[in-house]
């Protein structure tokens, strides 16, 4: 059924010991949706993304990928995914781009982009290389294939990380503050790439502090406050006519940030 969401999160709870970070959150991203998560530091945005990609274990709630629920064993703080093959399949279909680029320093940019499709997915090396070069062209650094990460600017490294994520041919891309480690002029290089991916109709979940980008690229924006969804809706409503006092205060504070 084509209307089945790519990602669906229902009533998700996550705690670190006694600290409750997510207190029952619902998120849906259908094919081609760009959903941005905004909120103050500590509101649970990045944790939500990591739970979605099964990098963190949640204690309660459901995570569904294309209608298939994650299988769990144990309860509460002992809850873990029950099926390692399912975890690998979901994780390879939800490529994550981190705030810190996480490129391997000893590999060229081309090798970085090729590594996971070849070693994790077992794809043909020659085909992967052709695809990798194409994705590096797409993000504007096709001429940097033989360079090493240390030879690139932060913006170029982040674009290489996006090419690496794309080379997995994922169902959705997860961005965790993709521009927050960058200077403003380098930030714009990455924002342009993300905008072009949005225009292609790629499914994306984006945690961001960049309200302009969230406004420009999103179909749906979710404002998290202390582990709960305070307000959500289309960007023109959230940014143009916010209903909650907290969201109004948050937006006012970010204008000058």
Q: Tell me the two tokens of residue 61.
A: 């709630």
pTM, entire model: 0.92
**Full DSSP string of 86-129:** HHHHHHHHEEEE-SS----TTS-HHHHHHHHHHHTS---HHHHH
Query: How many residues are given for the chain?
Result: 257
**pLDDT at residue number 19:** 93
- CA angle, 65 as apex, 114 and 11 as ends, to 5°? 130
**pLDDT at residue number 1:** 42
Structural domains in the chain? 7-255 (3.40.50.300)
Q: Are 155 and 87 in contact (CB under 8 A)?
A: no
Could you give the C-alpha distances from 115 to 107, 129, 165, 167, 228, in angstroms and in order?
9, 10, 11, 10, 37
Q: How far, in Å, CA of 165 to CA of 97, rounded?
A: 7
- As to burial, measured by CB atoms within 10 angstroms (0-12 exposed, 13-18 middle, 19+ buried), residue 142 is middle
pLDDT, mean over the chain: 93
**pLDDT at residue number 257:** 47
Q: Hey, is 201 helix, strand or coil? A: coil
**pLDDT at residue number 182:** 85
Q: How far, in Å, CA of 238 to CA of 92, rounded?
A: 32
State which residues of the chain have pLDDT below 70.
1-2, 255-257
């Amino acid at each position: 059924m084509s209307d089945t969401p790519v990602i669906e999160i229902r009533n998700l709870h996550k705690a670190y010991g006694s600290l409750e970070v997510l207190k029952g959150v619902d998120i849906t991203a259908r094919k081609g949706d760009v959903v941005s998560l905004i909120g103050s530091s500590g509101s649970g945005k990045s944790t939500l993304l990591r739970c979605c990609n099964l990098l963190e274990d949640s204690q309660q709630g459901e995570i569904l990928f294309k209608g298939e629920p994650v299988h769990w064993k144990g309860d509460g703080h002992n809850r873990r995914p029950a099926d390692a093959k399912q975890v690998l399949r979901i994780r390879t279909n939800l490529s994550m781009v981190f705030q810190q680029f996480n490129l391997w320093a000893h590999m060229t940019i081309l090798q970085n982009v090729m590594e996971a499709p070849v070693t994790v997915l077992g794809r043909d090396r020659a085909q992967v290389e052709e695809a990798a070069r194409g994705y590096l062209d797409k993000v504007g650094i096709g001429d940097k294939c033989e360079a090493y990460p240390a030879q690139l600017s932060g913006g170029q490294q982040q674009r290489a990380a996006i090419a690496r994520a794309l080379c997995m041919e994922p169902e959705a891309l997860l961005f965790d503050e993709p521009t927050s480690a960058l200077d403003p002029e380098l930030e714009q290089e990455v924002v342009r790439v993300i905008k072009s991916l949005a225009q292609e109709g790629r499914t994306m979940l984006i945690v961001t502090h960049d309200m302009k980008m969230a406004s420009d690229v999103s179909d749906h924006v979710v404002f998290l406050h202390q582990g709960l969804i305070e307000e959500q809706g289309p960007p023109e409503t959230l940014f143009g006519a916010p209903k909650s006092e907290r969201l109004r205060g948050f937006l006012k504070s970010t204008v000058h940030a």
